[in-house]
Amino acid sequence: MMFRRRQSARGRVALVTGASAGLGRAIAVALARDGARLVVHGRDERRLAETARATGGVPITADLADPAQVRRLADEALRRAGRVDVLVLNAGTGWAGRFTDMPEGGVGHLLAVDLAAPITLTRALLPQMLARGGGRLLFVTSIAGRMGVAGEAVYAAAKGGLDAFAESLRLELRGTGVTVGVLVPGVVDTGFFERRGAPYARRRPRPLPPERVAEAAVRAVATGSAEVHVPGWLRLPIAVKATAPGLYRTLAGRFGERV
């Protein structure tokens, strides 16, 4: 089952993690509008039920910090939907503050949710995509994983690791019909910053509505794009860092702020 360029999600089964609120909910709603059949994941049962009602999706609750629950999520999605054609790995958590102030257990929890869980879920659901000869994997990373952010060292490391995993897997899956994409958003106007322990206090860039980022996610699924940046100008600082790292670090040290 091969996907063609710019093919809508109509009739495809899409599993979206972290869909009980924020960006994940917006992505689920946008995919449903594009015709996808949804399986939605979250931890908050009440909010997840609301997303399921809004999308006509199948709700499955799971704590992604627990590897056994990650595997259960994959098994239950296949049992209840029959297959997964599109896997959007959006769920994540954050923590803001000095690295040495991070609470005991915080590092392991963040890495489990943001890095280990997406890898484990991909491992569980990729074989059935390969068996059918097609599928879409979309990893929601972050500009923090490309640039590094003071006060979010572990979060940036997790997202950077997810980027490297996606790039490596893309090369491995070439020619199989399964595409691997990354969605690299900047600041999105959701409750993420309150949950990480510090509100977003920068003057710029201004947070983006989650619906705008969700539409970019749907385009990435439709086209099989390798990477999509939202907003598009995020490519510029990434390019400066890659081509002139010394200049980038000088500018970051002079003008950079914590997010």
Which residues form the catalytic set? 155
Say how many CA atoms lie within 13 Å of 110 toward its Cβ: 22
Which residues make Cβ contacts (< 8 Å) with residue 179, sequence separation at least 6?
A: 3, 135, 136, 137, 170, 173, 224, 226
Amino acid at 50: E
d(CA 240, CA 53): 44
Closest alpha carbon to 92 in 72, 55, 74, 118? 118
